[in-house]
Structure 1
Amino acid sequence: MRPRMTTADVLNPPLPETIAAERLRQHLEEIARERDNAYRALQDREAELARIQRIGKVGGFEVNFREGFKNRRSPEYLMLHGLPPEASDETHEDWVNRIHPDDRDDTVKHFFDALSGTSEDYTAEYRIIRPSDAETRWIRVVAKIERDKNGRAIRFVGAHIDITDQMLVRETLRESEERFRLIADSAPVPIWVTKLDRKRSFANQAYVDFVGLPYDQAIDFDWRKVLHPDDLPHVLQQSVQGEASLKPFALEARYRNARGEWRWLRSESQPRWDPIGKHIGFIGVAHDITVAKQAEIELRQLNETLEERIAERTAELESNETRLRAILETSNQYQGLVNLRGELLYANKTALDGIRTEARDVIGRPFWDTPWFSTTEGMSAVVREAFDTVLRGEAVRMEMRLHLPIGERDFDFGMRPVLDRHGNITGAVPEAVDITERRQGEEALRQSQKMEAIGQLTGGVAHDFNNLLTIIRSATDFLRRRELPEERRRRYVDAISETVERASKLTAQLLAFARRQPLKPQIFNVGSQVEGVAQLVRPLVGGLIEIAVQVHDADCFTVADIAQFETALINLAVNARDAMNDEGRLTIAVRKVQGIPSRRTQSARGGDYVAISVADTGSGIAPENIDAIFEPFFTTKEVGKGTGLGLSQAFGFAKQSEGDIAVMSAPGQGATFTIYLPRAPSPASDKEAAALTSEAATTGRGYRMLVVEDNDDVGQFSTALLEDLGYIVRRVANADAALAILGENEFAVDLVFSDVIMPGMNGVELAGIIRERYPGLPVVLTSGYSDVLAENAHRGFELIQKPYSVESLSRILRKAIGQKLSGGR
């Protein structure tokens, strides 16, 4: 501002020199103010720049090479490297010592190579160890190298940037991608990724193994070369239509694998999109459905109305999923990833849908405690044991039935270890295939085969019984002739008796196969019993067959029907004799085993068992007959050489005794049949293991008997028979009438003889009421067949099976009365 002029100034104007000096002073003051303002602005900008550098973790530096290494570090550089302010001019050696030992040599070499080169640009990435906190940090260097006219480096100026966070993210991404690549390579089904030009950019190990080519050739392989000619036209058409729709689509066709086998594959393709929604190709996965296809064809041939149903599942992908995660999400298998602690890291959409839950509800939990297994009794422990096996480097595979929110489902479950590049186990990949529909198809096939077997069984029974009835009918016709000599009469009577015995054995074998034979289980020493049976077998097999008994464990006890057990062994021995043409070696062995191995359609079973094996050196069993040998009336022997019921009796006895029977054979190499029976503890005394002793037949001696029989013909015959034996008989037609008589006077009867099958209350129920109301009153039951007896035995009551002889009836009745007399009432 110009000074105000006064009156004195007007009257005495200043000299020109004074005016010039004043103007110069004012100009200098103006320049000083502008300088001060510029300096303050510069300080503000420098402060702002320093703040930005601190935020961005950037520090500047300068190295002057004119006189050795002269370093100058900015405050931000010192903060970045964890250095004190006095280290701003640190030495070159100080910088070298701060570099991480693993990166030091390469970093220093790269630095000097750059200085001795010609480029002005310099970049580097390495790790340092900060002196202030000993923390390792990643540093990126961006700098310029100033050179003189001869190209010698004279000055080095640039910035250090802390990129630790970016490097951690990069390493995490690399580990994630490697982990999911390992999952894809662990999957047992081919998986691939294609681009818009239909060329594959990725294929997993199962894909490479199927085509049998190196990876580089496998991803360029033309699938049309191995596509079945009959499937080629429709597959090409459906493929073009599916790709054009930009929606998920599936194809089914036959392909020839690297071993030259034709396999049915179901491929499912899912479109791929980039982050902005542009279509960039497809993700595909193929499942081998050969077994299901073959079952479908076989079922259609057996029953036109029965078809295999194959459930289709497609997984909907989220747009932000990574490529390999999206590959897994297209699979219709249940798949996951478990760490070394057993915690679930990943589960695909199919697996989550199976329990109707979200990933957040199961991730991080122990795999065996998740809803896939926790709702099925005992399954968590099974999966935990499987995981421990995988940690030892072994793969696990089993079939299991799970109770899931979507219902009860059958699975083919497997778990295998995940290995890193050094072969170390880093986790486990569990996977499961839903085989419920396949199981249902197999069950339908078995039902159809069962109906066929029933037809064969009916024909066989009719044939054999008609033969037996023919003998009886002919013999009775001759017995009606008055002029028949006594010797011929006795011969026909004996023929009828023998034929009835054969018919009884035939029905017993049928019931044994059907597991409906009333058994009399008792504890016995298997080894001792086998040695006794071997003595019975010797005259049956002939002198040219050597019999060897090998009892590996002397104290093998079981609970079963001894008579049925002996019959089963004899049947096996006779079959072996026929297979060896009466010459060879028969070995019967007894040993303790843990569990029953899987066989036929049955899975393995745990527990303590006694294994009784019968091995021969005969002709063996043809592979096409191995599954049919236990069917009733199935035989490869000549007509008249066997009924085809021997093996079916052994099969039924083993099953009804809560065991099983297995067979191993090859043509020309003999056969080994093994009966598995549940192992029992050793009895307290020999008396427990002893078989029932027989008593001689005797008469009734006037004992009073109440007969309960609803059939008039049988009732009249039984009454007459018992009266002939000396009993005083009273007969009623049902259980209510019998209880009414006992209610009037329980001491009017010495024994109750009742049929099992009657209208209303059956014989077993009647016997139970009598035991409860009238302790000590003996009850003897009789029946030709009863599902009540087969399922519940006879609850400790004496039982005589129809048809029975006079001697056996008399013996059992006298035994029951004798027990009454000895015990009192």
Structure 2
Amino acid sequence: MLSRRLTDLAQAERFQLLVDAVKDYAIYLLDSEGRVATWNTGAQLFKGYTADEIIGQHFSTFYTEEDRAAGLPERALHTAATAGRFEAEGWRVRKDGTRFWTHVVIDPVIENGEVIGYAKITRDVSEQRAADRALYESEQRFRLLVQGVKDYAIYMLDPEGNITNWNSGAQAIKGYSADEIIGQHFSLFYTPEDREAGAPAKALATALREGKFSGEAQRVRKNGERFWASVLIDPIRDETGKLLGFAKVTRDITEKRRAEEELERSREALVQAQKMEAIGRLTGGVAHDFNNLLTVIRASADFLRRPNVPEEKRARYVEAIAETAERAATLTGQLLAFARRQPLQPEVFDVCTRLRGLQRIIGSMIGSSVTMQNDLPEAEHVVEADPTQFDTAILNMVINARDAMPRGGTIRIGARIVDGLPAVRGHAAASGTFVAIEISDDGEGMSPETLQKIFEPFFTTKPVDKGTGLGLSQVYGFTKQSRGEIDARSQLNVGTTFTLYLPSADGQVPTISASGGDLAEASNVPRRRVLLVEDNEGVGKFAAGLLKELGQAVTWVGDGQAALRQLNNDPGGFDLVFTDVVMPGISGLELAQMIQKQRPDLQIVLTSGYSHVIAEQGAQGFPLVRKPYSIDGLLAILASRPDQRG
């Protein structure tokens, strides 16, 4: 017994040490009458009394005078004794008289069925109460703010879409009082046709799926009047992610819509007037130019009708008619290009290669007082467009730049890859990958008024007989027909930059197509050592013979294995490999890739009548000549840069 009592005593001492170590809670015992029997460190910190001062005092000392007068201490002990527990929050008083907000728990201590005292735990929750109070006051202020907003309908929906609250702005816009509308489904504001189409449910579904729904549409007021509304719906969730409902904000934008519609009507009227002005300029220009052409034809025909016209003069009049017909064809072609009715023959080509091929023609056009500066990357910038129309567009822009610098200057030509089209002339920006070709000058520049009209047919600022006003119209028509865009930026006395955007054909194989400045004659093509790989005997003999006629040294083999053996036996013996794609065994594409790994310096050109095979096999940028190929096609290969390869 003595040993057990000693053990109990030790355990009691350890428990008292534990209780004394707790500083965030006042933990102490009361006797059955409510007098303080024990006291811990936390109690002393909260209440300010030492153990010697408080033990033996009644716990009602900690209550406010009004709570003591109301008998709260006695009721607390009675509740604990009869209900087994008392728990509450309330004001308490420290030794120095200051009040603090507490959370109190009182449990009865029972022995042999009798209440012999009470265990009391008190925690100071003044800071938590202050935070709760601040939150409550903030929510009240927010409610007042929302209620004070008159220009927006701001209200909540439950998860099913029923209205749970209503601000004064909602009443002003929609006409319903809170008593009339709370509990109603928000679809009440939709037009009958939108309700039938399921628009309310779709709006909530979009808000849940995307985190927000926004839009503009017609809504209906209480009196049946329709109005245009800008609507925003956001889902509201608790900290666990559970959907509590939706926050909905509606703004009446009827006046804004009316103003926009009026502005659009004014804009359409202006555009129509500008169209009529352009049509008048177009018909006048066509009539003027064709009358000039017809004058030459009519006069020449009249002279040819005369008897005894000398043969020399007859030949001159016939030539005048032929030349005039060519000029008329060119004029109609330019008009068709502007109208985007010109038949195009698109090919896949590298813009940089083609621009380099135009250098000679450009050099002869611009004269000695104007210099040309190229900023063309070595990397391929591949597009699919009509190469002839492309050349014409480039030359038209160069001519425009040259004419803007009567005293000389510099024309710069560059190309780059861009993501997306900018917003140009009122058209929205567009996504996608494009090749941008820039042609800039440091000439006279243009005013904003002139810049707006430069793509209109027959519009020109040049003197009479110095320009038709169709060059930039051709550029515009070709670019639009090619699914691209043309942009012009200019500043007076600084210069002008034209940027032509064409959709990128990255990943497609460039087709050899000589530009107007890249055509070569057999007489000035360098002698190349060509390894011809062609499995078809007829085609092989023809191609080998044709290449020899063009002055080339040709070795013809019938398949890929033979080509590899030839290259291994004579590693430095060839300048160019010209291989068919579709062959038994190793395909031409596989052969090209194998050669490129071993001989990256060796030029490789593919040829095939089945270009889709290359697409299916994923060709890696090797140039392609489509069968049947012509002498000009072969000349273009032989005249191309020796370092051109995939």
Question: Which residue in 2 is equivalent to 1:636?
Answer: 461
CA distance, structure 2, for counterparts of residue 549 and residue 78 of structure 1: 100
Alignment equivalent of 1:322, drawn from 167, 170, 173: 167
**Which residue identity lines up with residue 651 of structure 1 in the other structure?**
Y
**Which residue identity lines up with residue 367 of structure 1 in the other structure?**
A
Question: Which residue in 2 is equivalent to 1:655?
Answer: 480
CA distance, structure 2, for counterparts of residue 666 and residue 653 of structure 1: 25
1:586 shift after superposition: 0.8
Residues 292-328 of structure 1: CA distance to partner in whole angstroms, max 9, x if unpaired?
xxxxxxxxxxxxxxxxxxxxxxxxxx9x953344577
Question: Which residue in 2 is equivalent to 1:494?
Answer: 319
User: Could you say if the C-alpha distance between residues 96 and 492 of structure 1 is closer, same or farther in structure 2, counting changes exceeding 3 Å?
Assistant: farther
Matches for 1:68-217 after TM superposition, within 5 Å = 72=68, 84=80, 95=92, 128-129=102-103, 131=105, 171-178=138-145
Q: Secondary structure at the match of 2:410?
A: strand
Alignment equivalent of 1:606, drawn from 425, 431, 441: 431
CA distance, structure 1, for counterparts of residue 475 and residue 354 of structure 2: 16
User: Could you say if the C-alpha distance between residues 172 and 487 of structure 1 is closer, same or farther in structure 2, counting changes exceeding 3 Å?
Assistant: same
Confirm or deny: 8 A CA contact 1:73 1:89 kept in the other structure. no
CA distance, structure 2, for counterparts of residue 632 and residue 67 of structure 1: 96
CA distance, structure 1, for counterparts of residue 77 and residue 147 of structure 2: 36
Residues 228-282 of structure 1: CA distance to partner in whole angstroms, max 9, x if unpaired?
xxxxxxxxxxxxxxxxxxxxxxxxxxxxxxxxxxxxxxxxxx9xxxxxxxxxxxx
Residues 460-515 of structure 1: CA distance to partner in whole angstroms, max 9, x if unpaired?
10110000100111112122233433333222222212111111111011000000
Q: Secondary structure at the match of 1:568?
A: helix
Alignment equivalent of 1:480, drawn from 295, 305, 315: 305
User: Could you say if the C-alpha distance between residues 127 and 442 of structure 1 is closer, same or farther in structure 2, counting changes exceeding 3 Å?
Assistant: farther
1:367 shift after superposition: 3.1
**Which residue identity lines up with residue 523 of structure 1 in the other structure?**
V
Q: Secondary structure at the match of 1:591?
A: strand
Confirm or deny: 8 A CA contact 1:551 1:590 kept in the other structure. yes
CA distance, structure 2, for counterparts of residue 167 and residue 651 of structure 1: 66
User: Could you say if the C-alpha distance between residues 524 and 170 of structure 1 is closer, same or farther in structure 2, counting changes exceeding 3 Å?
Assistant: same
1:630 shift after superposition: 0.9
Confirm or deny: 8 A CA contact 1:597 1:603 kept in the other structure. yes
Question: Which residue in 2 is equivalent to 1:670?
Answer: 495
Alignment equivalent of 2:344, drawn from 505, 515, 519: 519
Alignment equivalent of 2:207, drawn from 362, 367, 372: 367
Q: Secondary structure at the match of 2:92?
A: helix
CA distance, structure 2, for counterparts of residue 598 and residue 579 of structure 1: 26
User: Could you say if the C-alpha distance between residues 138 and 640 of structure 1 is closer, same or farther in structure 2, counting changes exceeding 3 Å?
Assistant: same
1:552 shift after superposition: 3.6
CA distance, structure 2, for counterparts of residue 165 and residue 474 of structure 1: 102
User: Could you say if the C-alpha distance between residues 93 and 80 of structure 1 is closer, same or farther in structure 2, counting changes exceeding 3 Å?
Assistant: closer
User: Could you say if the C-alpha distance between residues 355 and 546 of structure 1 is closer, same or farther in structure 2, counting changes exceeding 3 Å?
Assistant: farther
CA distance, structure 2, for counterparts of residue 82 and residue 538 of structure 1: 110
CA distance, structure 1, for counterparts of residue 444 and residue 248 of structure 2: 47
CA distance, structure 2, for counterparts of residue 531 and residue 695 of structure 1: 14
Confirm or deny: 8 A CA contact 1:620 1:667 kept in the other structure. yes
Q: Secondary structure at the match of 2:440?
A: strand
Confirm or deny: 8 A CA contact 1:594 1:609 kept in the other structure. yes
Q: Secondary structure at the match of 1:638?
A: coil
1:67 shift after superposition: 13
1:178 shift after superposition: 4.1
Residues 330-349 of structure 1: CA distance to partner in whole angstroms, max 9, x if unpaired?
9xxxxxxxxxxxxxxx9999
User: Could you say if the C-alpha distance between residues 574 and 690 of structure 1 is closer, same or farther in structure 2, counting changes exceeding 3 Å?
Assistant: closer
CA distance, structure 2, for counterparts of residue 414 and residue 569 of structure 1: 49
User: Could you say if the C-alpha distance between residues 584 and 74 of structure 1 is closer, same or farther in structure 2, counting changes exceeding 3 Å?
Assistant: same
CA distance, structure 1, for counterparts of residue 78 and residue 141 of structure 2: 29
Question: Which residue in 2 is equivalent to 1:294?
Answer: none
User: Whose relative contact order is higher, 1 or 2, with alpha carbons under 8 Å and at least 6 apart?
Assistant: 2
CA distance, structure 1, for counterparts of residue 520 and residue 300 of structure 2: 31
Q: Secondary structure at the match of 1:599?
A: coil
Residues 612-669 of structure 1: CA distance to partner in whole angstroms, max 9, x if unpaired?
1111111111112222111111111111111111111100000000111111112222
**Which residue identity lines up with residue 519 of structure 1 in the other structure?**
L
**Which residue identity lines up with residue 207 of structure 2 in the other structure?**
F
1:449 shift after superposition: 2.3
CA distance, structure 2, for counterparts of residue 573 and residue 647 of structure 1: 10
1:169 shift after superposition: 7.1
CA distance, structure 2, for counterparts of residue 439 and residue 596 of structure 1: 24
User: Could you say if the C-alpha distance between residues 695 and 550 of structure 1 is closer, same or farther in structure 2, counting changes exceeding 3 Å?
Assistant: closer
User: Could you say if the C-alpha distance between residues 651 and 94 of structure 1 is closer, same or farther in structure 2, counting changes exceeding 3 Å?
Assistant: closer
Question: Which residue in 2 is equivalent to 1:680?
Answer: 505
Question: Which residue in 1 is equivalent to 2:363?
Answer: 538
**Which residue identity lines up with residue 375 of structure 2 in the other structure?**
Q
CA distance, structure 1, for counterparts of residue 377 and residue 263 of structure 2: 42
Question: Which residue in 2 is equivalent to 1:154?
Answer: none
Matches for 1:146-545 after TM superposition, within 5 Å = 171-178=138-145, 321-325=166-170, 355=194, 361=201, 365-367=205-207, 434=257, 435=260, 438-439=263-264, 441-545=266-370
CA distance, structure 1, for counterparts of residue 200 and residue 81 of structure 2: 49
User: Could you say if the C-alpha distance between residues 457 and 93 of structure 1 is closer, same or farther in structure 2, counting changes exceeding 3 Å?
Assistant: closer
Q: Secondary structure at the match of 1:72?
A: helix
Identity among equivalent positions (%) equals 36
1:76 shift after superposition: 6.5
TM-score, normalised relative to structure 1: 0.40
Alignment equivalent of 2:409, drawn from 561, 584, 597: 584
1:428 shift after superposition: 11
**Which residue identity lines up with residue 506 of structure 1 in the other structure?**
L
CA distance, structure 1, for counterparts of residue 90 and residue 147 of structure 2: 44
User: Could you say if the C-alpha distance between residues 695 and 625 of structure 1 is closer, same or farther in structure 2, counting changes exceeding 3 Å?
Assistant: closer
Q: Size of the alignment, in residue pairs?
A: 402
CA distance, structure 1, for counterparts of residue 410 and residue 77 of structure 2: 88
Q: Secondary structure at the match of 1:95?
A: strand
CA distance, structure 1, for counterparts of residue 132 and residue 519 of structure 2: 92
CA distance, structure 2, for counterparts of residue 356 and residue 468 of structure 1: 65
Confirm or deny: 8 A CA contact 2:435 2:501 kept in the other structure. yes
Question: Which residue in 2 is equivalent to 1:308?
Answer: none
Question: Which residue in 2 is equivalent to 1:551?
Answer: 376
1:563 aligns with 2:559: no
Q: Secondary structure at the match of 2:300?
A: helix
TM-score, normalised relative to structure 2: 0.50
Confirm or deny: 8 A CA contact 2:191 2:218 kept in the other structure. no
Confirm or deny: 8 A CA contact 2:388 2:515 kept in the other structure. no
User: Could you say if the C-alpha distance between residues 481 and 350 of structure 1 is closer, same or farther in structure 2, counting changes exceeding 3 Å?
Assistant: farther
CA distance, structure 2, for counterparts of residue 362 and residue 166 of structure 1: 39
1:165 shift after superposition: 11
Structure 2 unaligned regions, length at least 5: 1-57, 107-120, 154-162, 176-184, 221-227, 235-246, 522-629, 631-646
Confirm or deny: 8 A CA contact 1:511 1:517 kept in the other structure. yes
